[in-house]
Chain A
Amino acid sequence: MSPIAGDPPGAGACTACLRRSWLLSSLSAPLDYCARDRWRLLELLALGDVELLEAVGGRRRAELRARYEALDLDQIGAGRERESLCRHDERYPRALNGPAAPHMLNVAGGATRLAELSASAVVAILGSTRASDYGMEMARSLARGLAAAGITVASGLRDGIAIAAHAGALEARAGTLAVTAGGLDVSCPTRRRSLHERVTRSGCAVSELPCDCRGRRWGQIAAERITVELAAIVVVVEASQTPGDLFAALTARRRGRTVAAIPGRLTSPLSAGTHALLMDGASLVRGAPDVLELLYAPGTGPPVKQEPDRPHAELEPRLRRVLERVRGGCETPDELARGAGSDGVLTALTELELMGLLARGDGGRYVPRDPMPVTIG
């Protein structure tokens, strides 16, 4: 992908930061080993080049040191089609200033656009990679609402919640920030390629690793830390109570970012992590208005009313009855038909689906949808 026109020619990271990037990719294997302890990985990433090399270089320490010092920067720079931006550049996102912040970013989508996107308020939407359809729908509608309000949505480029977040923001025709786990040229599985392209068309994908460096497990963790650093608020949509799913929220708390969570069902292990966060003092958000309130008026103002007193008053009574029962957790035709007639239920479900109030989820369940009209560009 060619750089976006309008960027100053010759823009790029400085040599020290390019060296850093090269070093990280050379140390990818030992770092991956260290990534078993996520916090240790963050400590390592906070080290300077030489100290990092000493800490994880192992037997190849001397050899790598020699190569690092003799590094031919033209060689690294040669053939680079992506723009890059380092922390010495004034367009570099100001939020990236923590001890473990990346030194440079390769940017797909243009450095100028990255600067623009990170200049407005950034909200990270994170969560499980194995989200339920409830979580996907929540993430999607939250991202859509935030993007429509002019907030930049940031997330990884992984399965689950992250994908839904990008998709939601794209539905509102807004650009998103995607932090990839590996180099920009390699990190995308085939099934996500079209989304990757759509993200870079209107937003930015960034990575601290060289473009051809394969993403590993440590890369995922490192990318999560960048996402968190970029954001003012981190919203966890659906997370199980595992270290992997909760790591982003804990990092955010350490770095002083506001952590918010969307609740789920108490019986669902996929929401156990979010509930634990809420117990721990994370803000409960029910949708985009709550996040906006957190951003701009923390602790003030009356609670935002999410829905009118009688939602969907304009619907026919039979449709409203069905919709209310679906929202109440009665999700399959069989359950719905148990109370009422049978044929009428299927037809009503279809009509509601056609109105965009319901969507079919996994296994024939119906999931309530945000009634906002959707136009996919």
Chain B
Amino acid sequence: MLARAHAFTIDGLHTRHVSVEVDVRPGLPGFTIVGLADAAVREARERIQTAIRNSGYEFPSRRITANLAPGDVPKAGPGLDLALACAVLAASGQLPGRGLASVALFGELALDGRVRPSRGALAVAQATRRAGLELLGVAGASAREARLIDGLEVAVVEHLSSAVRVLCGGAPDPLPGPRSRERRAEPAGAPGPDLSDVRGQHHAVRALVIAAAGGHNCLLSGPPGTGKTMLAQRISSILPPMSRSEAIEVTRIHSLVGARIEGLASGRPFRAPHHSITAAGLIGGAQRGWAGEVVLAHNGVLFLDELSEFSRATLDALRQPLEDGRVAIVRARHSAVYPARFMLLAATNPCPCGYAGEGDRCGCSEGDMARHRRRLNGPLLDRVDLLVNLRSADIRGLQDTPLMSSGEARERVLGARERQARRLGPEGVELNARMDTCMLRSHVRLDEKGEEMMRAAREQGLLSARGEQRVLRAARTIADLDSSERVRARDLGVALALRPDAGMTDSRAA
């Protein structure tokens, strides 16, 4: 007898529909799974057999063939267990077969028949709705995640027998409450560190607000202990909240990489990998379906502390995501495209010892400086819009009042982003940082004095063609923060003062 069930397998950040077909017929007892299954799926045979027996059902001692269609797509992970077990029960007549027709099942089986959560429930729920199925059966722990998708019924099945009950038209299990440890945890949206903790460094705070408002990539450069990391950690508190679709994108990615999901992601991701990270760790593709840090930072911030300590190969790998907002990974046996639209925030010392320009504490030779510059220059600095130099806060600086609180900063950022969205919305872009040449031409009009400044900068060799575009983008954001429709010369002046080359380029060398 033949039975068919619906399930989904996860390939990178994508889900693939899998039709699970099970045929039970007389013959030598055996259980074969075909259809490019990986080790986790092949091992499902043992789990399913034991779970069926331990749940009080009979495992048919006949010849069982399971086919996972389509046959040319590799299937991975233990999430197919539940669908396979139900299909076996249906094929052996212990469950009405039509119950399976419009239901997707997703979960791993324990030997006693309980259903364990499997990673990627949110993505599976999305795919279930897209496939036009009515019901998704998942473990209780995944249900919260799956229910984030509107217009899909999610049934909690904590045990194989509950799944059978649901498929026969019975009631699902109740949704379990959060575990005690999680109940105690901070409620979502708890205030993080606030910008008002930062004393002095007004220049840097202002620049950070500009970066947040326009989504500009930003490099903080300064001696140790000047608050680079402190500032960077406060960027999340001034970024606007995510829209629902952005939040679902983020939650989906985090669910697919196996993070515990308790609800829709509330804050923008802030990823700060250590500088020993490899290129594969940063970009992804270490193994099939491995998403790197840039993908996890999608719609959020990627913070690279001690930028000059990252290996050259790692930094070079950032080019594509910074340019295109996505990563295309191609390996011998698989390829994948991941979304990776993030704001890059980097921090570095101005020289290997960290004290260049700080009186005479710097003990670096010209060669050290050249090496340091070479490391940073190149491809990465080309894609940074703002360079913020921090200086050791002197006593006076520490007594300064904080420039603004995160709340105030966020207000300004929100206002600027609204103006950007209104202007750029029709062109399908939300942020000034993502304007292309064509948009720059139509949206950034300089006044006469501004044109003159640009000409002077070009003539003095301060700006390359690409550098010019970065300055214009930043100037547009500065004008937006000031609620100005035009980009005035003073906005351009600020943008030029923050342009990322001096101190990093060969300004000292001949």
Which residues from chain A sit less than 8 Å from chain B, CB to CB?
129-130, 132-133, 136, 159-160, 163-164, 166-167, 170, 189, 191, 195, 198, 267-270, 332-334, 337-338, 342-344, 346-351, 353-356, 359-365, 376
Residue B171 is within 8 A (CB to CB) of chain A in the complex: no
Q: List 27 A-B contacts (CB under 8 A).
A: A129-B366, A130-B363, A130-B366, A136-B508, A163-B366, A195-B510, A332-B203, A333-B203, A334-B200, A334-B203, A338-B396, A343-B490, A346-B497, A347-B489, A347-B494, A353-B462, A354-B453, A354-B456, A354-B457, A354-B462, A361-B357, A362-B362, A363-B391, A363-B503, A364-B390, A365-B357, A376-B461
Residue B222 is within 8 A (CB to CB) of chain A in the complex: yes
CB distance from B287 to the nearest CB of A (A): 39
Residues of B contacting A: mostly: loop
Q: How far is the CA of A334 from the CA of B497 in the complex (A)?
A: 13
Residue B111 is within 8 A (CB to CB) of chain A in the complex: no
Q: If A167-B510, A334-B201, A348-B493 touch, does A159 touch B453 (CB 8 Å cutoff)?
A: no
Interchain CB contact under 8 A, B367 and A189: yes
Q: If A362-B356, A363-B358 touch, does A164 touch B490 (CB 8 Å cutoff)?
A: no
Q: If A338-B396, A344-B490 touch, does A132 touch B391 (CB 8 Å cutoff)?
A: no
Residue B243 is within 8 A (CB to CB) of chain A in the complex: no
CB distance from B137 to the nearest CB of A (A): 59
Interchain CB contact under 8 A, B510 and A362: no
Greatest chain A CB density within 10 A among B221, B350, B370, B497 is at B497
Q: If A333-B497, A343-B490 touch, does A359 touch B507 (CB 8 Å cutoff)?
A: yes
- Which chain A residue shows the least CB distance to B506? A191
One of B200, B494, B496, B508 near A133 (C-beta < 8 A): B508
Q: How far is the CA of A183 from the CA of B120 in the complex (A)?
A: 66
Could you tell me which residues of chain B, from 177 to 209, have a CB within 8 Å of some CB in chain A? 200-203, 206
Q: How far is the CA of A256 from the CA of B367 in the complex (A)?
A: 34
Contacts of B438 in A (CB 8 A): none
Interchain CB contact under 8 A, A191 and B509: yes
Interchain CB contact under 8 A, B366 and A347: no
Q: How far is the CA of A376 from the CA of B367 in the complex (A)?
A: 24
- Which chain B residue shows the least CB distance to A171? B510
Q: How far is the CA of A196 from the CA of B360 in the complex (A)?
A: 28
Residue B12 is within 8 A (CB to CB) of chain A in the complex: no
CB distance from A315 to the nearest CB of B (A): 15
Residue B359 is within 8 A (CB to CB) of chain A in the complex: yes
Interchain CB contact under 8 A, A270 and B360: yes
- Which chain A residue shows the least CB distance to B490? A347
Interchain CB contact under 8 A, A364 and B490: no
Interchain CB contact under 8 A, B366 and A334: no
Q: If A360-B502, A363-B503 touch, does A343 touch B367 (CB 8 Å cutoff)?
A: no
One of B206, B222, B366 near A363 (C-beta < 8 A): B222
Interchain CB contact under 8 A, B494 and A170: no
Q: If A334-B201, A337-B202 touch, does A346 touch B357 (CB 8 Å cutoff)?
A: no
Residue B442 is within 8 A (CB to CB) of chain A in the complex: no
Residue B217 is within 8 A (CB to CB) of chain A in the complex: no
Contacts of B509 in A (CB 8 A): 163, 191, 195
Contacts of B489 in A (CB 8 A): 347
- With A129-B366, A353-B497 already in contact, 17 other A-B pairs whose C-beta atoms are closer than 8 Å: A130-B363, A133-B507, A133-B508, A164-B510, A332-B389, A334-B201, A337-B202, A337-B203, A338-B396, A346-B203, A347-B497, A351-B453, A354-B460, A363-B222, A363-B503, A364-B222, A364-B389
Q: How far is the CA of A276 from the CA of B505 in the complex (A)?
A: 33
Contacts of A191 in B (CB 8 A): 367, 370, 509
Interchain CB contact under 8 A, A361 and B497: no
Q: How far is the CA of A356 from the CA of B396 in the complex (A)?
A: 31
Q: How far is the CA of A371 from the CA of B359 in the complex (A)?
A: 24
Greatest chain B CB density within 10 A among A338, A348, A349, A354 is at A354
Greatest chain B CB density within 10 A among A132, A269, A355 is at A132
Could you tell me which residues of chain B, from 305 to 344, have a CB within 8 Å of some CB in chain A? none
